[in-house]
Structure 1
Amino acid sequence: MEMKEVWEARKRIASFVKKTPLIESPVLSESLGRPVYLKLENTHDIGAFKIRGAANKILSLSEEERRRGVTTYSTGNHGMAVAFIAQKLGIEAVICISNRVPKAKVESLKRLGAQIEVVGESQDAAGVRCFELEKESGYTVIEPFDDPCVIAGQATIGLELLEDIPNLADVLVPLSGGGLLSGIGLTLKTNSPEIRITGVSMQGSAAMHASLKAGKPMEMEESETLADSLLGGIGLNNRYTFRMVGEFMDQMVLISEDEIGYAMVYMMDKQRIIMEGAAATGIAAILGKRIPHQDGALVVIITGQNVDISILLQLMKNYPVE
């Protein structure tokens, strides 16, 4: 992939995707002794960054492909992004999800008018059904991460960071299939190779971490986690993100469930920001002093806010913040 594709993506998605806010976090800056900024990707129409990649891919389709409709498999946010763009363009969309997708995300999918198929206990199982639909009905599959158009869409976040922070030194990126980190990594490392990129994920079922450790894409059984958006495999036939994450990521941090839960409550209490568990992994890495100090600004990508309120209420009881 080349930067030309990222600039093309920015132009293509401009009517659907607006630049997201970048705000400083005084409490986190004080904690680290350096400027800490939050890139609020949770402020998109669907409450998550996935709209960038989905918009770029769907808008790149031919009229014939749009007429036949689209399908995807998702842990929730990518499905919402595909459903949202499809609804705006009047395209038929079928979203395949597993039984693990939280109720809040399922309800959002229904509101967006997408056809939903619930299949199995993992994103991989939903993916199998998605490709069956492609063969049966001629739908175009909108990959959740391992697609150049999707990666280029997510990479537009990197362009915004470079515009807004001249002294950018660190970026913390929640990591699952790797589309987000691949895109941001491509943009930042191409322009400023010295910027350090840290992938953050939950301790259980971190498929990309296991794959990188093994030196090849690996399958993993999904387990219960607050960071449900980070569940799912990377695909045994992964073509792009496995290589790109390996190339662009400088370090990886795995976060416990207690750390994720506390970080979610901490940001609600200290900065009045609701974030889902996946987005809170970067905050947890900061609170746990897991990022080696270096001069310059640090940015945390706040990937989404789609979390059940009942979960937040329970976390507030379990993790009181002083």
Structure 2
Amino acid sequence: MSSLIGITDIEAAAARIAGHVVRTPTVPSPGLSALLGVPVTTKLELLQRTGSFKSRGATAKLLSLTGAERAAGVVAVSGGNHGIALAVMAAALEVKATVVMPRSAPERSVALARDAGAVVRLTDGMAEAFRLVEVLRDEGLTLVHPFDDPVVIAGQGTVGLELAEDADELTDVLVSIGGGGLIAGVAAALRARRPGVRIWGVETEGAEAMSAALRAGGPVPVELSSVVSTLSAPSVSALTYEHVSALVDEVLVVPDREAVRGCLELAEHAKLWTEPAAGCLLPAARRVLARAGAGARVGLVVCGGNAPTGDLRDWAERSGLG
């Protein structure tokens, strides 16, 4: 029996989180259209509360908790954005939150989660962070998983619901992949509302959990080496793998350097300050257009904008981008 999220689940999530999250703009980008040579529409999730789409899934999950679960508190593992989202939204809903992050997470993300009132636990790596979260869950906290949860996926799917309602006709939509929660929800929404659109996932080299799963026929652990901590899941889940294998046309992998270059291009041509998890969409879009041709109409889910200026400068310098 399929466990795919349906459009009714996503519509219910949209109704539940309305008033708690932002219906972010879906706008044409003249600058990116000129850069890529085809019409480009952007879904601006970097303008979401806490700076990324993660607020949607976190809020959907928090609002689904029982009274006992709220009283016990929640825990999450995060490379940055999920932790910020859970900390801020939990504080708004008066739920105690613990966030586990790897030490490689951006210092700003750690500070924002702490400033929101969450208890932040740091580990040596993302795999260790996931293991610690399991221990804390066994101690009684409710896990708000960043992607392996149908309620969270339905919340993230509201991005795709809004894109389908607000965008002009699109031929190709590109979505970044970490653990796969965003693309699972977006793909479920688009397949229901825009069945003819091609859906492309994008990963960075060294954060290729979904690509590895597709090759293996199911989730497998991967070695992480990408600078893009927000995409660095040690594996995808069976739930997100099932969605991607059934609903997504292809997953593309781009180098870190090109993801960082994409951030600089988004700043210059679209006036958007993004993180590399969004920057990776531009080099992937060029590959899509090489196949799709001049008749394509591209949609980009600009997933977040929480990259500190110092980090982006350092990444650009290390990549030889100046």
Q: Report the TM-score when normalising by structure 2.
A: 0.93
8 Å CA contact 1:155, 1:187 repeated in 2: yes
Inter-partner Cα distance in structure 2 for 1:291 and 1:8 = 38
- Aligned pair count reads 315
Q: Are 1:60 and 2:85 matched, yes or no?
A: no
Equivalent position of 2:6 in the other structure: 2
The 3-state SS of whatever aligns with 2:137 is helix
Inter-partner Cα distance in structure 2 for 1:126 and 1:27 = 39
RMSD over equivalenced CA pairs, Å: 1.7
* Counterpart pick for 2:55 among 51, 55, 59: 51
CA change 1:296–1:219 in 2 (3 A) is same
Inter-partner Cα distance in structure 1 for 2:176 and 2:24 = 17
Equivalent position of 1:310 in the other structure: 310
Q: Are 1:125 and 2:94 matched, yes or no?
A: no
Q: CA deviation at 1:296?
A: 4.8
Could you tell me which runs of 5 or more consecutive residues in structure 1 were left unpaired when the two chains were aligned.
none
One-letter code of the match for 2:92? K
Inter-partner Cα distance in structure 2 for 1:291 and 1:189 = 23
Equivalent position of 1:211 in the other structure: 213
Cα deviation 1:261-301 (Å, max 9, x = unaligned): 21111222223211001011112223566652253521111
Inter-partner Cα distance in structure 2 for 1:277 and 1:252 = 17
Q: Percent identity?
A: 34
The 3-state SS of whatever aligns with 1:173 is strand
Equivalent position of 1:250 in the other structure: 249
Task: Give runs of aligned pairs for residues 150-165 of structure 1, distance below 5 A.
Answer: 150-165=152-167
8 Å CA contact 1:174, 1:200 repeated in 2: yes
8 Å CA contact 2:32, 2:270 repeated in 1: no
* Counterpart pick for 1:185 among 184, 187, 198: 187
- With 104-113 and 144-153 compared, the bigger mean Cα shift is at 104-113
Task: Give runs of aligned pairs for residues 1-322 of structure 1, distance below 5 A.
Answer: 1-122=5-126, 124-136=127-139, 138-225=140-227, 227-234=228-235, 238-287=237-286, 292-293=291-292, 295-315=295-315, 318-319=320-321
Inter-partner Cα distance in structure 1 for 2:130 and 2:35 = 41
Inter-partner Cα distance in structure 2 for 1:49 and 1:55 = 11
8 Å CA contact 1:71, 1:93 repeated in 2: yes
Runs of 4+ in structure 1 over 6 Å off: none
Cα deviation 1:172-217 (Å, max 9, x = unaligned): 0001111111101111112232110000110223111111111121
The 3-state SS of whatever aligns with 1:168 is coil
Inter-partner Cα distance in structure 2 for 1:143 and 1:95 = 11
Inter-partner Cα distance in structure 1 for 2:135 and 2:128 = 11
Could you tell me which runs of 5 or more consecutive residues in structure 2 were left unpaired when the two chains were aligned.
none
CA change 1:53–1:107 in 2 (3 A) is same
Q: CA deviation at 1:224?
A: 3.8
Q: Report the TM-score when normalising by structure 1.
A: 0.93
